[in-house]
Amino acid sequence: MGLPHRFGRSVVGIALSLIACSGVRPSHVEPYREVRRGPSKATVLDSVGDATVASYPPTGFAALTPSQRALAYHLVAAAWSADSLLTMQSSRFALPAQAAVRAILAKAERLEPRLRERVLACRRYLFLYHGLHDHWTSLKITLPISQSEFERAAQSTGVAVAPELLAAMFDPKVEPMLVDKNPGPGKDPIVESAASHYQGLTSKDFETYREKYELNGRLRKENGKIIEEVYRAGDARTPPGLAASEIRHIISHLRDASAIAPAREKRALERLVTYLETGDNERMREHDIEWLTEAFPIDYAFGFILTYDDVRQRKGSFLAFVSMPDPERNGPLQALAANAAYFEQKLPFAPEHRRDVFRPPAAAAVMALAATAGAGPFGFGGINLPDAQDLKEKYGSKNAIVLSVEDTNRAVMGTRRTTAFAPAEDRAEMDRCAPYLWYALAGFHEITGHGSGKVMPSLADDPAKPLAPHFGAMEEGRADLVADYLTGDPKTVEIGVLPDTGCARVYPAAKTTMLLTNHLQVPHGDVIEEDHQRAAFIELGFLRDKGVISVERRNGDVFFVVKDPDAWRRAVGELLAEYQRIKATGDGAALRALVEKYGLRLDPKLRDEVVARNAALNLPKRIATIPPTLIPIRDGAGRVIDAKAEQTASLDAYIDLIEHANHAQ
């Protein structure tokens, strides 16, 4: 997921497709075309800190069948009910902070208007960030209300707020980092990280302890004893676990969905329900195998999947995602998937590190109908699941590029950032090719990037374990480099992923400009924590050292210039081959050396310049995308028989909807 939209190892990676790729497509496909969604269709709802919040229309939803629309509603309702799970995992103070704000606003009539608006603004922050930290930078957010104002609001409404919670909300020294992989000499990364996966443990505890529930568990230490807890609802034979009531509510909607889903999707959903009831990860593996073998018209991804918020990269943050296909822009992506075996052989991997057995992966261009917990509202550009290496190699994967995210970004941003940050000689071509370049990057990143390569039989475990805590950065960087390398292959134009050789030629300049503007994602300090960002800065540092990116100052502004696209791709291939060797062999020392050389720190002066130039353009640093609101249509017995979708018109109304789904349980 090395795209500029956050998602985990698997994302720019989840899959939802209308048609599974089951055979070879024609050698030429109509190129990806700009269709339907013009700039006027996205609506800016609000600004929350440095984020612009925008919604998009439910284009194509009315063309679904009534049963598909009803299925979409049930899956979306399950996703709405899942949002608080990520908040719970973010910090032990995140849910209590939301609860305190919710309690104050329940008696909002007691507040003067100005103070009421400050509390509402605080609510928006806590919602967008799922608590007190920015999951993209790991930094603690600064709430738009002072501690004294918050205490006054609490006192006016009779809400008791513990001093410990106030300190967590307003003292920058309390839990300053969501994830702190490099806390400094004498400090423990587990202790210094706010994420609630471990309570009372240190890194030393894991020298001998091995947990049973790696992805969906939480560990706490009491009186010297480690206690493992599991997120599960419980059933007749299994006691309930963490977040049992929240998960039961998700399950109720998933059961409604499975009752009307097509046969194979029904079987997958039934296994997902069993997993959420029991916490048994074997049931999730069974679900994944069933789910990835066929793409569904209304598809989904639910589970404890994203490992970015864990310094050990073992614990999975929950995500919930529902989508519908975008058939008008699907053809080139299907062709890319059908040619995955061809592209694998063109990669600069050692022969023993290439995959030699291929099931054509499912792939689709989609629109998000729901993106909650770890999937939103700072959306992701694509998905590739499942994460487990053995499942990928044996069964393949599902993939999607989420065009609703990119459509909204381009509608809000236009091409002004390209004009400001790209070298003058490349601007016109980059502007012409912009949507195609993003489509190619997302498609190759997911389908051929995450899905490529194999590990050596001598590597006894999934490579994520020996390569932690840097596996996520390597895997996102590897997937991006696959895209960077293969967009120069003639077949990319032949199958319609790029429309012509001009766009293939300008791709290196466009990607390099992205590496410059990527400095906006680390707005403070000089430490890089988030895996996608580390991947980007490793690529930038390596390519600069190879001399294929030159740094030039023109009229006082700095630009990254690519003068020889072919040399740029050769250097990309060199780093890509090394990444694949590291993954295939589990060479943690080599990976650590790359991260320490290029991926830990940035040049704050350059970053400050990029931030200032962007501010002068009055452009958002990032965009939170809000999906449409689905409204059920019921028969006389109360059964959902259809649904309609409306573009979300208010951020506060959307928060109301999500809060009701999470707390009216």
Per-residue pLDDT reduced to its tens digit, 293-330: 878 999 999 999 999 899 998 999 999 999 999 988 88
Mean pLDDT confidence for 95-106:
98
What pTM was estimated for this model as a whole? 0.87
The domains located in the chain, with CATH, are: 39-84+243-624 (3.30.540.30), 94-131+141-174 (no CATH)
Mean pLDDT confidence for 82-103:
97
For strand 217-222 and strand 198-199, is the pairing parallel, antiparallel, or unpaired? parallel
pLDDT at 29 over 70: no
C-alpha span between 477 and 61 (Å, rounded): 34
Mean pLDDT confidence for 145-168:
98
Mean pLDDT confidence for 114-140:
96
Percent of the chain, pLDDT > 70?
94
Measured CA distances, 88 to 99, 227, 521 (Å): 12, 18, 24
∠ CA 646-650-656 to the nearest 5 degrees? 95
The whole-number pLDDT of residue 664 equals 65
Per-residue pLDDT band at 13 (split at 50, 70, 90): very low
Buried b (16+ CB within 10 A) or exposed e, 312-322: bbbbbbbbbbb
Residue where the block lists tokens 């991997």 = 349
The whole-number pLDDT of residue 35 equals 37
Strand order in the sheet with 51-55: 43-48, 51-55, 622-626
pLDDT at 601 over 80: yes
C-alpha span between 447 and 455 (Å, rounded): 17
Measured CA distances, 598 to 537, 569, 592 (Å): 6, 19, 10
Q: Which of 362, 367, 300, 293 is closest to 327 using CA atoms? A: 367
Which value, in Å, is the radius of gyration of the alpha carbons in the chain? 24
Mean pLDDT confidence for 31-39:
42
C-alpha span between 554 and 363 (Å, rounded): 42
Residue where the block lists tokens 């962007």 = 614
Percent of the chain, pLDDT > 90?
74
pLDDT at 7 over 80: no
Q: Which of 99, 176, 114, 109 is closest to 145 using CA atoms? A: 114
Q: Which of 448, 210, 214, 209 is closest to 344 using CA atoms? A: 448
The whole-number pLDDT of residue 147 equals 98
pLDDT digits (tens, 9 = 90+) for 340-352: 999 999 999 999 9
The neighbouring-strand residues paired with 198 are 219
The whole-number pLDDT of residue 301 equals 96
- Compute how many other C-beta atoms are within 10 angstroms of the C-beta atom of residue 345: 11
pLDDT digits (tens, 9 = 90+) for 456-467: 988 878 888 899
C-alpha span between 187 and 196 (Å, rounded): 18
pLDDT at 283 over 70: yes
C-alpha span between 324 and 309 (Å, rounded): 28
Per-residue pLDDT band at 104 (split at 50, 70, 90): very high
Buried b (16+ CB within 10 A) or exposed e, 286-297: bbbbbbbebbbb
